[in-house]
Amino acid sequence: MVVFRKNLKEQLKTSFKDWILDSTSHGFPKIFKTERPILKIMWIIGLCVSIGLCSYLITRSIMNYVEFGVTTTIRYRTEIPMELPAVSICQNSMFTTEKGEQFILFIQF
């Protein structure tokens, strides 16, 4: 049982390392590929700072969006007397052409 756990632990560690090395992010593979400890520390610090800054900016953007105030004013106003639109009445002799006069005579019987 102890051998199985040790073997499983090594397989998981190897799989995780392979997954990180094949990752498209630049920070994680550089940490594992670099042999020098000072460069590993610099990559870890840089990665932590960039993740922290990214998290801060995303959180700030979400908070600004949520806190954006919207003011809506609805007014209901009844005016008496109510202003009506202008109405124009047409003349009685609106057909001034010859065909128009014939039409008027036709409909009057």
* Cis status of the peptide bond prior to 29, with omega within 30 of 0: no
Please give the structure tokens belonging to residue 79: 């005016």
Which of 58, 31, 57 lies closest to 42, judged by CA? 31
- pTM listed for this prediction: 0.48
Check whether 1 has a pLDDT greater than 70. Answer: no
Length of the chain (residues):
109
The model's confidence at residue 33, banded by pLDDT at 50, 70 and 90, is confident
Type of residue at 89: I
pLDDT digits (tens, 9 = 90+) for 58-96: 999 999 999 988 888 888 877 777 777 777 776 666 656
According to the model, what pLDDT value does residue 95 have? 54
pLDDT digits (tens, 9 = 90+) for 93-108: 665 678 877 887 888 8
